[in-house]
Structure 1
Amino acid sequence: MAGNNILDFEKPLLELKDKIEELQSFMDEKGIDLSEEINRLKTRAKNLQREIYANLEPKQILQIARHPERPTTMDYVDYIFDEFLELHGDRRFGDDKALIGGIGTIDNMPFTLLGHQKGKSTKENLERNFGMAHPEGYRKALRLMKQAEKFNRPVIALINTPGAYPGVGAEERGQAEAIAVNLMEMSDLKVPIIVVVTGEGGSGGALGIGLGDKIMMLEYSYYSVSSPEACAAILWKDANKAPEAARALNLTSADLLRLGIIDEIIKEPAGGAHKDPQQAALLLKQAILKTAKQLKQLSVEELLERRYHKFRKMGIYTVTSKTKNLNNVQSNS
């Protein structure tokens, strides 16, 4: 465990692991059998990890979702795809490195892949704009989705972004319009769309590639209309209230499955995807292939009808007596 990237709530676990390593070194050096004590501590560490991760607060899940060592879209491509060709540019302005796309095969099944791309270092994050796409990124995604439709390839969208880039240049080039057009086009795309939130699912930046036939989340990811920090700043004028906002936003995978916003939670390795990226990728691959095979059984008409009803039934509302009276007035006029 890299000391610089240990999360606060993991520190008791780190102390146990350090103790195990200390005893192991002492046993090797002195030739004294401490295996019983070491095994006891390993069992205790395993139980402690299970207990910690079974009772995480939303703010702690956010920490895992934002972990600097969490696998990126390209990491998953390397693990999952048999072959992959990245495609560039929106044919209007330029190539956005914060949102990548391309074509490839998984177990000989062709797919078009879209995904937000963060960096692993400060330099890479600056190059990738911390995974915050510009309008040309969303227009590139749309170009590739229309290409997928032409060649009858299912689309995979991997979401991991704090949000769409809010800079002046992005707004001047039509950030909101690009996202809105994507939502409209994805609602009627005639091939299966599989969406997975792999880390951060922030606001319109996530929605720009987030309308799909099946929406899944990795266990320790989040999906929200706003970051907790932004929400706290807007509601309370105090970003320090972010933990309170995180609870109120219902942004965890468990919350969103209960509310019917997502369809499935993909389990992560113990301690999160960054602890075992290869195993995390295997679990993601299994979920994608299972879903793709199910969706490919549907006709285009069935696919679009199901997609329409999926989003129509989201949300809960109540009809008040005032609303009923207003409806009656409108129907009688």
Structure 2
Amino acid sequence: MAAQKISERRKILDNSIAVIIPCHNEEATVGKVIADFRASLPEAVIYVLDNASTDRTAEAARNAGATLIFESRKGKGFAVQTLFERIDADYYVIVDGDDTYPADESPALLREAVEGGFDMVVGARLDRYSGHAFRPLHHLGNRFIRFTINKLFHVALSDILSGYRVLSRNFVKGVPLLAVGFEIETELTLKALYYGYKIKEIDIHYRERPQGSYSKLRTFTDGFRVLSLIVMIVRDYRPFFFFSLIGTVLLLFGLIFGGVVIKEYIETRYIRRVPLAVLSASTVIAALLNYFAGLILDSLSRRFKEIMIVGKKRL
């Protein structure tokens, strides 16, 4: 058993590891987060991205010995994009700077990525967390988003919005990211599912924010952005499902309207409700156009996916 653990540790050490911490106004906690990860992953290089902070986050990170990167565009998505573009490593441990994620569980996540060959290992929070770690609406929103994505992609993930992940170089350098805010975690998961990257979840203990630290997540604004991202992802990456759903709704309305007109014609041999007849025909035509648009876009999406997968294999 000891020899096996040594062998696994050597495999991890053979890879370069970057701990990346996007921060906005986290001076109260970032120093402890850096110290904890340095103790848990002494072989890793720790990077802190100061995302337009107005407090002493940068000074606290520098004093703790992290490598500092700055991003003036405010938004966690911008921060993650910049970190992925500027840092080169075999594995990336991404974590929030608010001291809610346990650094001592990072070796287990990293070991799963290295030993298991997973491109994304997610620290899942929903089974083990402190009493007030989640706001009630956040917990409900997470469950709704999880249900939606699991149904759309036929998977069984438990935590879509976790900010604690280990990512492979292949994933980080191979997937384009567009999210600018807190919807970045959802995009990471959706892109991994769409492009066929291997995902694994490991339960971790999620803590409450320490005293003096406050959440930047806006429940309704950021929740709406996450839902909007899901709609856009489905439209762009599952176009036949998206447009056929719209087409089906339009077709049902068209048939309902048309049924009234047809019933009237059968009974009187005359169409008195001409506007309703025009509306019915227009709605059915719009439904058919949505079906055809979905078919065409689905073919294009499949082709682009093939190109992306071929390019990934050549890396």
TM over 0.5: no
Question: What is the TM-score normalised by the length of structure 1?
Answer: 0.23
Higher Rg of the two aligned structures = 2
User: Relative CO higher for 1 or 2, CA cutoff 8 Å, sep ≥ 6?
Assistant: 2
TM-score normalized with structure 2 length:
0.24
